[in-house]
Structures are given as structure tokens and as C-alpha cells.
Homo-oligomer: A and B are copies of this chain.
Amino acid sequence: MALKPIVAVNFKAYYPYSFGEYALRLAKSARKVWEETGVRIILAPPYTEIRRIIEVVEGTEIEVYGQHADPIEPGARTGYIPLEALVEAGAHGVILNHSEHRLKLADINWLIKRAQKLGLKTLVCADVPETGAAVAVLGPDMVAVEPPELIGTGIPVSKAKPEVITGSVELIRRVNKNVLILTGAGISSGDDVYAAIKLGTIGVLVASAIVKAKKPYDVIKDMALKALNAIK
């Protein structure tokens, strides 16, 4: 059975787009695209919005992830978010080590292992193929290689640095046969998603192109359809 392509949406902390009514509208758009295409969609809203986004996507297969989790056990840890906080809020997974929120190596490993015990999926980011492979050694569910210098630029990694994608796939597969490989940075359109999948990944991690879009539905739908085309 072929794997479903993945469109993972990192809401980040854009004001006002990542919050409140904007965040709800984004989740509703994603829900509609999922209903129409069945593409695997992951939404990663700010901590404060997780519960409401989960309500919106209830009854679908859309997954809601935390954007990060702190490498701590629950307890007297004021202002930190342990994995258990995400579980309690109903989240299905967590992004770890995003280029805007890098983690220490030992903590990435600790969080992956603990997330597995808690039933949370892990999507771990890396900046270059080598660190992507290093992360893959630790056994997460997904690895997303994103060159930080392209993040937010609108210059898609699939065009500007296709060798990052092919190199990542090659290095990662040497050490881990099963991990799902995503890419990201500058992904703006369905064509970028198509190219990313054709270069060997199973999907993309996208932020501003969707989150700050005038019509998020249109962008997600375009990406979903091109992703399905690419995977055939």
C-alpha cells in the first residue's frame, strides 16, 4: 500500500495569523481539503490554540501536533510544556528541533523515546543532510530537513537546493529504512510540493505560505492535489 503524502502546517507565532479566529479558519480549511482529498495533514498550532484546533478537526484523520515540547518531566516546572501537557490537550504528536527552536542532541533522543511511550508521533527537524541522518538514527516517525537560510524566503528548497533533498534521502536511508522523510523551507505552492516528493520525500513542512495566505484553503488544496499527483 502506497504511503499517503504529507502536508504538515507549522502555524508558528505570526500575529494575528497563528492565533484566534485566523487559526480556526486555517483548521477549517485544512478540514475541507482533507475531506476532499484524504491527504495526510498535520497541523501544529501554538500551545494556546491546540484544544480549539482539535475540536475543529474532530472526526477527521487530521493530526494536531505541538510545535515543540520541553525536555522535562511534569512537575514543578512553571511555564514549561512537557509532552504530557500535549497529551492532555489531545494532541497526536510533536515537532521537535525546529530550526527556530533547536534542542540538545540528548534531549531530542529523550523526547523521542518518551513521546513513543506516551503515544505521540514525532516529527524531528534538521538543517542539513548529515544532521537529518543523525536524527534518523534515533528512530523518530518523521524527519524534516530544512535549510534554515531558505525558511520564510519563498525560495523553495526543491528548486534552490535539490541536492539537500536528494542528499538527505540518501544519507537517511543508510541508517534508517522506515522513517518518513519530509522537507521544507520556502515551500510556497503545489509545484514545490510536487518537486519535493519527486526528489524522494513523502511530503513537506510548510508555514508562512499557508498560514499567512489570503485564502489558506486554496494553497492547501493546491498542495494536496499536486502531492497526490506526485505520489502516483
Contact = CB atoms under 8 A, between A and B. Distances in A.
Q: How many copies does the complex hold?
A: 4
A131 B109 CA distance: 7
Interface string A1-31: 0000000001011111011100000000000
A86 B74 CA distance: 22
A70 to B, nearest CB: 9
Interface stretch (A77-85, A160-168, A190-198, A223-231): A77-85
A218 interface: no
A98 B84 contact: no
B75 A14 contact: yes
Given A134-B138, A208-B76, A102 B107 contact: yes
Interface in A31-86: 44, 46-52, 66-68, 72, 74-82, 84-86
23 contacts: A10-B78, A13-B72, A13-B76, A13-B85, A16-B84, A16-B88, A19-B85, A19-B88, A19-B89, A44-B78, A48-B81, A49-B51, A49-B89, A51-B51, A77-B101, A78-B100, A79-B100, A105-B108, A109-B134, A130-B139, A133-B175, A134-B134, A134-B138
Which A-B residue pairs are the 10 nearest by beta carbons?
Answer: A68-B79, A15-B74, A19-B88, A47-B47, A67-B79, A134-B134, A102-B104, A78-B98, A48-B89, A79-B101
